[in-house]
């Protein structure tokens, strides 16, 4: 089961298809995939963008 690593929300608890698409994933240093729910993704968008390489700007 997929859940948000910040708030613990389960992806299966989200009923809106667009909100399910808004979940984001990232790979940790040890190779594990971590998920952020649509709410946490929106709240932490700047943190996520800050990890992008400079050539994206």
pLDDT in tens, the chain (57 residues): 899 999 999 999 999 999 999 999 988 889 999 999 999 988 888 777 777 777 766
Other CB atoms within 10 Å distance of the CB of residue 44: 14
Rg of the chain over Cα atoms, rounded to whole angstroms, equals 12
How many domains does the chain fold into? 1
Nearest to 39, CA basis, from 24, 54, 55, 57: 24
Q: Show the tokens assigned to 10.
A: 């389960």
Output the pLDDT for position 56.
65
Rounded distance between C-alpha atoms, residue 5 and residue 32, angstroms: 12
Range of the domain at 19: 11-56
Domain presence at residue 1 = no
pLDDT at position 9: 96
pTM higher than the cut 0.75: no
In a domain, 3, yes or no: no
């Amino acid at each position: 089961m997929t859940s948000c690593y910040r708030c613990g929300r389960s992806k299966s608890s989200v009923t809106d298809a667009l909100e399910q698409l808004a979940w984001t994933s990232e790979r940790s240093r040890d190779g594990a995939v971590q998920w952020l729910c649509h709410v946490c993704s929106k709240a932490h968008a700047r943190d996520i963008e800050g990890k992008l390489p400079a050539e994206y700007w």
